[in-house]
Amino acid sequence: MADLPLLTLLIAVPAAVAVLVAAMPRHAVGPIRSVSLVGSLVTLGIAVAIVAAFEVGQPGFQLEEQAAWIPQWGISYRLGVDGISLLLVGLTAFFMPLVVLAAWHQQERAKGFFVSLMAMGAAMLGVFLALDLILFYVLFEAMLVPMYALIGIWGGKQRRYAAIKFFLYTLIGGLLMLVAILYLYWSAGAQGFDYDLLRGLDLTGTEQLWLFLAFFAAFGIKVPIFPFHTWLPDAHTEAPTVGSVILAAVLLKIGGYGFLRFSLPYFPEATLTLAPWMLALGVIGVLYGALVAMVQRDIKRLIAYSSVSHLGFVVLGAFALNQTGAAGSVVQMVNHGLSTGALFLLVGFLYDRTHDRAIASYSGIMRATPVFGGLFLVTAMSSLALPGLNGFTGEFPILLGTFEALPLAGVLATLGVILAAIYLLWAYQRMFHGPVEGRAVGLTDLTPREVGVVAPIVVLMLVIGVYPGPLYERVNPTVEALVDEVVAVAEDADLATLRHLTGDAGADAELVIDPPADDEVAVDDEEVSR
């Protein structure tokens, strides 16, 4: 068991399934989806084996695999998993069979659909495992084409526009990151692209700043951070249900993952210098997303903006630069994946029946379809971070960490939690309560297959909600080491921002943070009121 190259298998199985499905005749829809389901279940099994083999309490990489790929330029094939990637790999593998099941009745060009799905799975799992920067970049970009196809071929009315927008945004960010990666390579003496090799380089402050910004372009767009978020609502709204689920549950996590994996350890000085700004952007994201979500008429768009808001917390946690915040940020990524993924699935089931996403078209769904209503309620509660459900276990530590770093940001972010409760419950009340009217009339409840898709997610929400210990056990050592490393650099450098960011919050920090935060929020308010 231990000798098996588990990580390679984890990527190879979905990739092989994609090739296998591509070779099948296109009218054999039944076999195609069966093969896909079996393949994704095998993938999940391998992921479970990886989680089992993962040694708790170790901060470093485990189960490493390495082989030379382009030795001329020191590009290697290196995979490994640590506390941060373990959870995200688990999340991705967990969702793969669910999305296959959710797309079970996909008839239109089913073959291409499942090929894209499996190719996406392979690339996403690879991104979280890659420990060579070129390999990481390759997998990062390799996701573009299948995702472009998923949105562009099987999406809604504006699918072409949304697909190209998604593609170009991600591509631009990725290319800037590539330039930065090559710069790192030359700065490190052209030894190679190994993750550890490029870590802790002796870079000047200006260099760090520029490189940080180049990586930020790639990850900030992926998260997405305000003001780079505009592609997300379009992509989410136009993508088919499964596309939205993949996007929300996994793809967006690459941004937060990238911050923790690359930005923080690679550019600690720049991180410290820019941390107040990052916190400001995080707060803006939280509030802006929530405020815009409030005025949406389209339920899918509402969830898309709620994503912007929830992912703002991930940024806050990552740049609070303390263990509480960073660990919370990783757990928040998992929780957001679960709850938003489930919300998109549920809205997708609704859309399949009525082909209408307008909130105003529905009333009294709860009475018409109690199972659907119940599952939606639990998921919405999880999304708005009700204690006892999973959302709370991520957002609460993030808020704690943010308070510790910068109290004002913590206060404003807490406002975001309240806003989340308002827009979600308000939408819930309009759609699910009241007399059975509009499209809710004659609505059929979820089929066993649909319940089977959502139920595992809801179970996981409850389990994490009451017992998040196992997650934190695995994340904490890695995150602790990471934060220690950044703070150690800060102590050496004795940067001006240091005092505020390591607990000793003073008035200066608020001066730094105040103007941008207030200005932007004011602007947002205007936008919203318009």
Partner 1 sequence: MDVDQATQIDLFALAPELAVLGASLLVLLIELFLHGPRKRFVNPIAVLGVLVAFGFVVALWLDGAQRSSFGQMFVVDDYALAFKGFFLAVALFVLLISYRYFSEIRTFQGEYYFLMLAAFLGMMLMPSARDLVMLFIALELVSVPGFIMAGLRKFDLRSNEGAMKFFLFGVLSAAVLLFGLSIVYGFTGTTTLEGVAASLSAGEANPLLLAATLFVIAGFGFKVSAVPFHFWAPDTYEGAPIPVTAFLAVASKAAGFAGLLQVTFVAFEPLADVWAPVLGVVAILTMTLGNLTALTQTNMVRLLAYSSVAHAGYVLVPFAVVQPGDAALNADAFSAVLVYLFAYGAMNIGAFAVVIAVARRHPGRRVSDYAGLGQRSPGLAVALTTFLVSLGGIPPLVGFVAKLAVFFVAVEAGTTLGIVLAAAVAINTVISLVYYLRVARVVWMEEAPEPEPEPVQPGLALGFTVGGLAVVTVALFVLAPLLWGAADQAVLIASG
At residue 146, what is the residue type? P
Chosen residue from 28, 38, 51, 138 binding partner 1 by CB under 8 A: 138
Which residue, 72 or 107, has its beta carbon nearer to partner 1?
72
Binding string to partner 1 for residues 10 to 29, with x set by CB under 8 A, is what? ----------------x---
Residue 517's contacts (CB-CB under 8 Å, 6 or more residues apart) are 280, 283, 284, 408, 409, 412
Which residue, 160 or 297, has its beta carbon nearer to partner 1?
160
- Measured at the alpha carbon of residue 440, what is the angle toward residues 242 and 309, in degrees to the nearest 5? 45
- 149 is an interface residue for partner 1 by CB under 8 A: yes
Burial of 321 per CB tally in 10 Å (0-12, 13-18, 19+) = buried
Please state whether beta strands 437-438 and 362-363 pair in parallel, antiparallel, or not at all (unpaired).
Answer: antiparallel
Count CA within 13 A, CB hemisphere, residue 128: 30
Give the chain's length.
530
Segment near partner 1 (CB under 8 A); pick from 65-73, 259-267, 295-303, 358-366: 65-73
Structure tokens at 494: 């004795």
Alpha helices in 54-203 (DSSP H): 83-102, 110-129, 133-142, 144-154, 159-187
- 56 is an interface residue for partner 1 by CB under 8 A: no
- 164 is an interface residue for partner 1 by CB under 8 A: yes
- 128 is an interface residue for partner 1 by CB under 8 A: no
Structure tokens at 69: 């790929």
Residues from 169 through 188 that contact partner 1 (CB under 8 A): 171-172, 175-176, 178-179, 182-183, 185-186
CB of 280 to partner 1, least distance (A): 28
Select from 346, 340, 384, 381 the least CA-distant residue to 365.
346
- 377 is an interface residue for partner 1 by CB under 8 A: no
At residue 475, what is the residue type? V
Residues from 236 through 265 that contact partner 1 (CB under 8 A): none
For residue 180, the surrounding DSSP H or E stretch is: helix 159-187
- 65 is an interface residue for partner 1 by CB under 8 A: no
CB of 72 to partner 1, least distance (A): 5
Tell me if 259 sits within 8 A of 492, measured CB to CB: no
Segment near partner 1 (CB under 8 A); pick from 37-45, 49-57, 85-93, 137-145: 137-145
Residue 482's contacts (CB-CB under 8 Å, 6 or more residues apart) are 260, 264, 265, 326
CB of 517 to partner 1, least distance (A): 32
Chosen residue from 4, 48, 67, 190 binding partner 1 by CB under 8 A: 190
Gap between the Cα atoms of 219 and 263, Å rounded? 9
Segment near partner 1 (CB under 8 A); pick from 70-78, 325-333, 388-396, 504-512: 70-78
What are the distances in angstroms from CA 183 to CA 29, 139, 187? 47, 20, 6
Burial of 52 per CB tally in 10 Å (0-12, 13-18, 19+) = exposed
Gap between the Cα atoms of 194 and 71, Å rounded? 12
Chosen residue from 28, 38, 49, 153 binding partner 1 by CB under 8 A: 153
Residues from 75 through 94 that contact partner 1 (CB under 8 A): none
CB of 222 to partner 1, least distance (A): 16
Which residue, 91 or 149, has its beta carbon nearer to partner 1?
149
Chosen residue from 167, 212, 228, 349 binding partner 1 by CB under 8 A: 167
The binding site for partner 1 (CB under 8 A) comprises: 26, 68-73, 112, 134, 137-139, 141-142, 144-145, 148-149, 152-153, 159-160, 163-164, 167-168, 171-172, 175-176, 178-179, 182-183, 185-186, 190
